[in-house]
Amino acid sequence: MQFTEKSKQHIDSCRFCWMCHHVCPIGNATGLERNTARARALGLSMVARGAIEYSEDIINNVYECSLCGGCMKDCVTGWDPVMFTKEARLGAALDGKLPEYVMKMLENFAAKGNIYGTEKNPNIPVIGGGDILFYLGEDTRAKGCAKSAVELLKKAGVNFALLGDEPISGYSLDFLIGAAAETKAVMENCAKTLNNYKKVVCYDPADAKVMKREYKEYGVDLKAEVVTFTEFLADLVKSGALKVKKSDMKLTPQESPILARDLEELDSMREVLSACGELVEMLLNKKDTVLAGNLIMNEYMPEVMEKVAEGRWVNALNMDAKILVTACTAEYELLKKTKPEGVELMKIEEVLLKCL
Amino acid sequence: MTDFLFDVIATELEDAVGRENCSTRTIDKLTHSVDYFWLSRMWADRGLRMPEGDFIVAPKDAKETSAVLKIANYYKIPVTTWGAGGGTQGGAIPVCGGIVLDTKRMNKIYDVNTQGMYIECGTGSIYKHIEWAANEKGYATMHYPSSLTCSTVGGFLAHRGIGVSSTKYGKIDDMVLQMEVVLPNGDIIETSPAPKHAAGPDLNQIFIGSEGTLGVMTKAQMRIYEQPESRKFRGFLFHNMTDAFNAGRELLQKFKPSVMRLYDEAETASLIKKIVGVEKKGAFMNIAIEGVKEIVEVEEKLLLSTFAKYGAEDLGSEYGEKWWKEKITFFYPGHMMDIPQCFGTMDTIAPYDKIEKIYWAMKEAIETNFPQAKFIAHFSHWYEWGCMIYDRFIVDGKDVPQDPHEAFRLHQAIWNCGVRTALANGGVVNDHHGVGIKLGRLMKEQYGPAMQVFEGIKKQLDPNGIMNPFKLGL
């Protein structure tokens, strides 16, 4: 395993630093010391020094990270465990050492076009026309449901397209194997389709993140404007295309770390929810938000993902939340699976539909 | 140990805590072998592996902890308790191998009790998490050490930790009400339902500071406080340390600020200049006063008039507020001492009649005997009767021997010199970082025949000597 000089510098800075110990959603869920940025860095630093092999054991640890960026956000010096974790995953791919569960997902992708290996969802309609593409993404097509979102956009009079053969954005491959040639090829293929539209509205923040950030970083030519679903909805509310009546609902936003930290989108969801009801914040919100679930990791560590979601429910209940609102398929699905009694879970589009 | 016996013990431990919570994986053994102790970091930096546990075990509660300790006693296997690994004294390093008992699965917050003003939690809870739990209800723990985010409740109790607001709110031993402890033989006990009683010696205080040598603390009730209505900061610059000590002592006869921190000239010119931006020469002192608004206003007046008597320059609130904001920044990589430097913090405590003498004696001893070492200090925990020196030595990487064994010798020699000087002048082995493997040898030098009290308790509670061997000098 060869690390870049930049990665080595970050690994060596993190290996003896415990300061972000408290923010790791995985470490907090498992209680395991190895699920911390410093433990991962220590392992990799010993690999870099030749003291231990880049073995299955160390590689598995590299895949126990959700890349949520909580540690990175917490670091006042600016060290970046996400960066070296992704590089370590790429290294495992290049060395031919990917764990079996990762290989299985890559094989699923090769066979079915998505890492989950699911068949095309017949319930997702194909809608033609317009210069706006409503991009659902791999998680939603394989594991989620966007029926309410489609209904809402129709009610707002948005002329949009929904593809039957939507190419995957590359988010999942970027998560699994980082900046590998295969990831870039998938992104380039997706960009070709996206470039047929003026604007791409991403239902899932994960896809918006790679389109806005990694495409640029990897030199993928994307001309279409990419906006998140939440940003788009906030504009529809502001412009009056969606006429919202304020209700007495008490709404607690669960913003995904991707939305808050990677995309730095902090207001859109709040603008929409404030128009629909009373906002009740969790203590850890905005850039301090906590991951509530990741569907890719759910494929290989489902019990931990449930604990992650349960932890976020505890945060919500501690603030007497009545309705927890999400804008991310992965988080919605895992929160749904772990929902306690006496509290509701809604998608942002469901809240809006209720207030029209 | 034979492979067969190893498997026998592994299966018994798996039976006690669940297979997924008993690991022999390289990554688990490795990450539980390096804590914040300089030696373990230097060792790892040079690609060397520290002593590792054979089994990394994570019980979820006292019952599972009890089962683990019973197994360990039967097979006479060492047990080293691990909180979050942020200790500086090597207290959590499994120097004899055996079982590393990681407490972080015991992280349940059972009750935020705003009537009794405490949080009941598993000792594996990261302290910041119980602070968040208190904040969610509008309260605060008021325990704010630099390691707040990376230490467990049990970790702080194990080495008697302290936070920056200690003058007003006390040390961790002032903040605990009741504890659940698993004794080395597996018995689960509870300490008294309230502290400060006359029903014999305080059981809490036997286990607090015992660094995992007498049992495993598994649950604790930690105090919470109402958020202060007002918190004000004031920075001062003293001409010299003597004036600052006298001013601080006099102030504490009048009232208790929350934060009191005095930095010597060397630390004012280095860390304080870098992080807080104080450019002037002198000894910087930062004071925070907090509580009910009207009382804070009176205290502020007393502070200004007292410090003026000692010629302190009033720097206003800006630096103090900056310090509060950046109080944890000091400890992130890039701001903090780090490998390849050789360094250590020899915190000690003494009454006011001795503390300044200790400071100058330690400074002279270190700088004379180890000219390659820089000596800086601050005084960050103050009481009516005395205060603590947080004095540090730093040797630049270029002056640290290449041979790791020689580097270790240099480190030990500086520590011996510094701590023995403190002891000779009326100080103690340590104030709030603990003893661990780093300072165990010096405990007998401090206590002399009094050490037999600790040894007697240890022998009675842990006759097989399985609990964290060679730590605390036991």
Minimal CA–CA distance to B415: which of B399, B432, B396, B395? Answer: B395
| Paired residues of B345 in beta bridges | B392
Flag if A22 and B332 touch (Cβ within 8 Å): no
Residue B340 to residue A64: CA distance in whole angstroms: 30
**What residues of B are in contact with residue A57 (Cβ under 8 Å)?**
25-27
Q: Which amino acid is at B334?
A: G
DSSP single-letter state for residue A259: I
Return the pLDDT at B441. 96
* Residue B261 sits in the same domain as residue B210: no
CATH 3.90.25, applies to A132-233: no
**What residues of A are in contact with residue B46 (Cβ under 8 Å)?**
49
Q: Residue-wise over A103-130: b if at least 16 C-beta within 10 A, else e? A: eebbebbeeebbbbbeeeeeebeebeee
Return the pLDDT at B240. 93
Confirm or reject contact between A268 and chain B (CB < 8 A): no
* Residue B404 sits in the same domain as residue B323: no
Residue A86 to residue B234: CA distance in whole angstroms: 45
* Residue B96 sits in the same domain as residue B114: no
CATH number assigned to the domain comprising residue B36: 3.30.43.10
Return the pLDDT at A173. 98
**What residues of A are in contact with residue B218 (Cβ under 8 Å)?**
none
Confirm or reject contact between A318 and chain B (CB < 8 A): yes
* Residue B92 sits in the same domain as residue B43: yes
* Residue B347 sits in the same domain as residue B301: no
Give the chain B residue whose CA is nearest to the CA of A61.
Answer: B27
Domain ranges of chain A: 5-98, 132-233, 242-354
Half-sphere exposure of B228 (CA within 13 A, CB side): 19
Flag if B58 and A18 touch (Cβ within 8 Å): no
| Domain end marker among B56, B87, B102 | B102
B209 located within any domain: yes
Return the pLDDT at B336. 83
**What residues of B are in contact with residue A52 (Cβ under 8 Å)?**
26, 30, 49
pLDDT at B19 over 90: yes
The residue range of the domain holding B122 is 109-226
Nearest CB among B27, B85, B133 relative to A58 is that of B27
CATH 3.40.50, applies to A242-354: yes
Instruction: Judge contact between B120 and B111, C-beta under 8 A.
Output: yes
B471 located within any domain: no
B354 burial level (CB within 10 Å; 0-12, 13-18, 19+):
middle
Q: What is the pLDDT of residues B229-245, one digit of tens each?
A: 999 999 999 999 999 99
pLDDT at B332 over 90: no
**What residues of A are in contact with residue B328 (Cβ under 8 Å)?**
19, 76
**What residues of B are in contact with residue A27 (Cβ under 8 Å)?**
104
B466 located within any domain: no
The whole-model pTM stands at 0.96
Return the pLDDT at B278. 85
Confirm or reject contact between A84 and chain B (CB < 8 A): no
Chains A and B: how many Cβ contacts under 8 Å?
123
* Residue B16 structure tokens: 């006690």
Chain B nearest C-alpha distance from A340 (Å): 17
Number of domains in chain B: 4
Q: Which residues contact B199 (CB under 8 A, 6 or more apart)?
A: B192
* Residue B161 sits in the same domain as residue B256: no
Chain B nearest C-alpha distance from A160 (Å): 42
Return the pLDDT at B218. 98
Give the chain A residue whose CA is nearest to the CA of B145.
Answer: A19
Return the pLDDT at A171. 98
B27 located within any domain: yes
Chain B nearest C-alpha distance from A10 (Å): 10
Q: What is the pLDDT of residues A164-204, one digit of tens each?
A: 999 999 999 999 999 999 999 999 999 999 999 999 999 99
* Residue B209 sits in the same domain as residue B283: no
Flag if A18 and B136 touch (Cβ within 8 Å): no
Residue B40 to residue B443: CA distance in whole angstroms: 21
Flag if B30 and A33 touch (Cβ within 8 Å): no
Give the chain A residue whose CA is nearest to the CA of B325.
Answer: A76
Matching fold, domains A5-98 and A132-233: no
Flag if A32 and B339 touch (Cβ within 8 Å): no
**What residues of B are in contact with residue A304 (Cβ under 8 Å)?**
none
* Residue B150 sits in the same domain as residue B214: yes
CATH 1.10.1060.10, applies to A5-98: yes
> Left (φ > 0), alpha (ψ -120 to 50) or beta: where does A158 sit?
beta
Return the pLDDT at B11. 98
Q: What is the pLDDT of residues A291-320, one digit of tens each?
A: 999 999 999 999 999 999 999 999 999 999
B68 located within any domain: yes
Flag if A58 and B135 touch (Cβ within 8 Å): no
Flag if A51 and B49 touch (Cβ within 8 Å): yes
* Residue B207 sits in the same domain as residue B249: no
B467 located within any domain: no
Flag if B328 and A19 touch (Cβ within 8 Å): yes
Return the pLDDT at B325. 87
* Residue B184 sits in the same domain as residue B126: yes
Flag if B44 and A42 touch (Cβ within 8 Å): yes
Q: What is the pLDDT of residues B393-445, one digit of tens each?
A: 999 999 999 999 999 999 999 999 999 999 999 999 999 999 999 999 999 99
Mutate to test the interface with A, among B24, B27, B40 (most CBs of A within 10 A): B27
Integer-rounded Cα radius of gyration of chain B? 22
Q: What is the pLDDT of residues B255-297, one digit of tens each?
A: 999 999 999 998 899 888 888 888 899 999 999 999 999 999 9
pLDDT average, residue stretch B130-135: 98
**What residues of A are in contact with residue B335 (Cβ under 8 Å)?**
76-77
Q: What is the DSSP string of A297-346?
A: HHTT-HHHHHHHHHHHHHHHHHTT-SEEEE--HHHHHHHHHTPPTT-EEE
Question: HEC states along chain B?
Answer: CCHHHHHHHHHHHHHHHCHHHEECCHHHHHHCCCCCCHHHHHHHHCCCCCCCCCEEECCCCHHHHHHHHHHHHHHCCCEEEECCCCCCCCCCCCCCCCEEEECCCCCCEEEEECCCCEEEEECCCEHHHHHHHHHHCCEECCCCCCCCCCCEHHHHHHHCCCCCCHHHHCCHHHHEEEEEEECCCCCEEECCCCCCCCCCCCHHHHHCCCCCCCCEEEEEEEECEECCCEEEEEEEEECCHHHHHHHHHHHHCCCCCCEEEEECHHHHHHHHHHHCCCCCCCEEEEEEEEECHHHHHHHHHHHHHHHHHCCCEEEECHHHHHHHHCCCHHHCECCECCCCCEEEECCEEEEHHHHHHHHHHHHHHHHHHCCCEEEEEEECCECCCEEEEEEEEEECHHHCCCCHHHHHHHHHHHHHHHHHHHHHCCCCCCCCCCCCCCCHHHHHHHHHHHHHHHHHHHHHHCCCCCECCCCCCC
* Residue B410 sits in the same domain as residue B447: yes
Residue A252 to residue A279: CA distance in whole angstroms: 6
Flag if B28 and A34 touch (Cβ within 8 Å): yes
Give the chain B residue whose CA is nearest to the CA of A79.
Answer: B333
pLDDT at B327 over 90: no
**What's the angle, vertex CA B153, arms to CA B150 and CA B155, rounded to 5?**
70
* Residue B189 sits in the same domain as residue B131: yes
Confirm or reject contact between A17 and chain B (CB < 8 A): yes
The stretches in chain A having pLDDT less than 50 are: none
ipTM: 0.95
Return the pLDDT at B270. 86
Angle between the N-to-C axes of helices A329-337 and A302-318, in degrees from 0 to 180, rounded to the nearest 10: 80
Confirm or reject contact between A316 and chain B (CB < 8 A): no
| Domain end marker among B331, B358, B374 | B331
Flag if A45 and B44 touch (Cβ within 8 Å): yes
Half-sphere exposure of B145 (CA within 13 A, CB side): 24
| Domain end marker among B102, B137, B161 | B102
Give the chain B residue whose CA is nearest to the CA of A55.
Answer: B26
**What residues of B are in contact with residue A41 (Cβ under 8 Å)?**
none
